[in-house]
């Protein structure tokens, strides 16, 4: 059964599932008619460049087409089949050669344009490679669908940061990534642009020694609705994961973070934890976090989760004001520091510096303070 036929055979997702509890499928479908697969969805413009705007180094390249679609068996069938169907003519593979190494971050710049568009990007990261990849999504269209599939090769070290800074519209993002033996991955998300985001990010460690850190810095304002669902599957012994997700919510916006850590039977020595922090910037802002654990193996190092919500600390505001900050600057500094606690863990000094400048620009443009 092809992807289109599979999608059309499915029933509407049940909102009792945490994936769909806060953002129903019809609200992020490009037309709202969930019984159809729309025609005429365009393709974004892609550029692979260095962080300084120059050419990307040899050993990493974009190639049109996807040789095979390897969606994780744990992925949501509704969104994965739908995005595969609508992206049939908009598929690219990012190839990273084995043993590739770059001292400088590489950027994949995705311009989604000013209309509806979609992209299926397959990641083919060769074994023992080492790189920092920034994927920046911009544009002003009403809807953008973004499916990422693929595998991080054995022994690779990858800092993989997705930055979503569209000018409004809806973003539907699905990640379905397999992490190879002894690979080390930092998966960062920076989100502050779209009016509505539904992201379903899933990672599987099916070989021993995998190490994964998921980091989120989310900034919402006005009436934004930003919903992120994250799953980490430990399906092999001696794997490690940490999930740290920080959301700052202003105006009448709402952020949602649902996390699931699954430890399969036989995954001895697993060490896993997740933590959600939400900073409420106004009385009308909302933040929902639901961390969950499913542990079927008894011999684990540790498995834990937690969540915390709260406003800006008035004592910290007062302290900064006594040191010469005006109220607006003091507030902005505390928001930036809160988001930077996860931002600073996403990669190198060069990558962090670029992200900090981006955060300052987003804070200013959104008027978050």
Average pLDDT over residues 120-138: 97
pLDDT band at 369; cut points 50, 70, 90 = very low
Tokens linked to 15: 């909102």
Question: Beta-strand (E) ranges in 68-129?
Answer: 91-96, 106-111, 117-125
Q: Is the pLDDT of residue 368 over 70?
A: no
> For the chain, how far is it from start to end, CA to CA, in angstroms?
51
pLDDT digits 0-9 by tens, 325-345 = 888 888 888 999 999 999 999
pLDDT of 11? 94
User: Residue 302: pLDDT above 80?
Assistant: yes
The secondary structure of residue 10, as a DSSP letter, is S
Distance CA 256, CA 290 (A): 8
Whole-angstrom Cα distance, residue 90 to residue 120? 6
pLDDT value at position 362? 84
Is the model's pTM score more than 0.85?
yes
- pLDDT over 90, % of the chain: 84
**Calpha distance 228→58 (Å, rounded):** 34
Tell me whether strands 60-64 and 117-125 are parallel, antiparallel or unpaired: unpaired
Long-range Cβ pairs for the range 36-42 (8 Å, 24+): 37/4, 37/7, 37/8, 37/82, 37/85, 37/86, 38/86, 38/116, 40/116, 41/86, 41/90, 41/116, 41/117, 41/118, 41/145, 42/90, 42/113, 42/115, 42/116, 42/117, 42/118
Residue 329: per-residue pLDDT: 84
pLDDT value, residue 361: 86
Contacts of 17 (CB under 8 A, 6+ apart): none
pLDDT for the residue 117: 98
- The answer on pLDDT for 105 being more than 80 is yes
* Alpha helices per DSSP H over 307-348: 314-322, 327-343
Q: Is the confidence at residue 245, as pLDDT, over 60?
A: yes
Calpha distance 271→250 (Å, rounded): 34
Contacts of 82 (CB under 8 A, 6+ apart): 3, 7, 29, 37, 145
pLDDT in tens, 62-72: 999 987 767 88
Give the residues across from 231 on adjacent strands: 202, 260
Decide if 180 contacts 152 (C-beta within 8 A). yes
The two structure tokens encoding residue 280: 């409420």
The percent of residues above 70 in pLDDT, for the chain, comes to 98
Q: Confirm if 149 and 176 have CB atoms less than 8 A apart.
A: yes
Whole-number pLDDT of residue 317: 86
- Give me the pLDDT at residue 366, please: 64
Least confident stretch, 68-72, 90-94, 187-191:
68-72
- Helix (H, G, I), strand (E, B), or coil: what is residue 42? strand
Quick check: 367 pLDDT over 70?
A: no
Question: Phi and psi of 74, rounded to 5°?
Answer: -85, 0
* Confidence bin at 324 (pLDDT 50/70/90): confident
CB 249 within 8 A of CB 283: no
Per-residue confidence (pLDDT) for residue 330, from 0 to 100: 87
pLDDT computed for residue 254 by the predictor = 96
Give pLDDT tens digits for 227-236: 999 999 999 9
Averaged confidence pLDDT in the chain: 94
Q: What is the pLDDT of residue 73?
A: 83
């Amino acid at each position: 059964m092809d992807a289109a036929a599979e999608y059309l055979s499915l029933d509407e997702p049940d909102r009792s599932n945490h994936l769909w509890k806060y953002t129903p499928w019809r609200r992020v479908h490009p037309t709202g008619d969930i019984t159809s697969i729309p025609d005429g969805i365009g393709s974004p413009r892609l550029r692979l460049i260095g962080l300084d705007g120059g050419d990307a180094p040899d050993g990493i390249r974009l190639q049109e087409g996807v040789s095979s679609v390897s969606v994780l068996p744990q992925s949501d069938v509704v969104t994965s089949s739908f995005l595969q169907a609508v992206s049939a003519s908009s598929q690219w593979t990012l190839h990273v050669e084995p043993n590739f190494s770059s001292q400088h971050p590489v950027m994949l710049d995705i311009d989604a344009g000013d209309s509806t568009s979609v992209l299926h990007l397959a990641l083919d990261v060769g074994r023992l490679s080492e790189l920092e990849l920034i994927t920046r999504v911009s544009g002003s269209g009403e809807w953008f669908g973004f499916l990422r599939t693929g595998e991080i090769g054995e022994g690779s070290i990858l800092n993989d940061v997705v930055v979503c800074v569209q000018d409004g519209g809806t973003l539907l993002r699905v990640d379905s990534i397999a992490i190879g033996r002894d690979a080390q991955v930092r998966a960062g998300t920076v989100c502050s642009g779209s009016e509505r985001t539904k992201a379903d990010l899933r990672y599987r460690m099916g070989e021993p020694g995998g190490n994964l850190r998921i980091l989120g810095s989310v900034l919402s304002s006005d009436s934004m609705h930003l919903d992120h669902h994250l799953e980490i599957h430990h399906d092999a012994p001696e794997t490690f994961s940490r999930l740290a997700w920080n959301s700052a919510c202003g105006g009448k916006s709402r952020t949602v973070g649902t996390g699931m850590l699954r430890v399969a039977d036989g995954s001895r020595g697993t060490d896993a934890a997740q933590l959600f922090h939400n900073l409420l910037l106004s009385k009308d802002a909302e933040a929902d976090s639901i961390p969950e654990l499913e542990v079927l193996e008894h011999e684990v190092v540790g498995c834990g989760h937690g969540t915390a919500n709260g406003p800006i600390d008035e004592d910290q505001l007062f302290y900064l004001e006594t040191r010469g900050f005006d109220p607006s600057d003091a507030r902005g500094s505390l928001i930036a520091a809160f988001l930077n606690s996860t931002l600073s863990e996403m990669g190198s000094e060069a990558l962090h510096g670029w992200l900090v400048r981006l955060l300052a620009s987003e804070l200013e443009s959104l008027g978050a303070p």
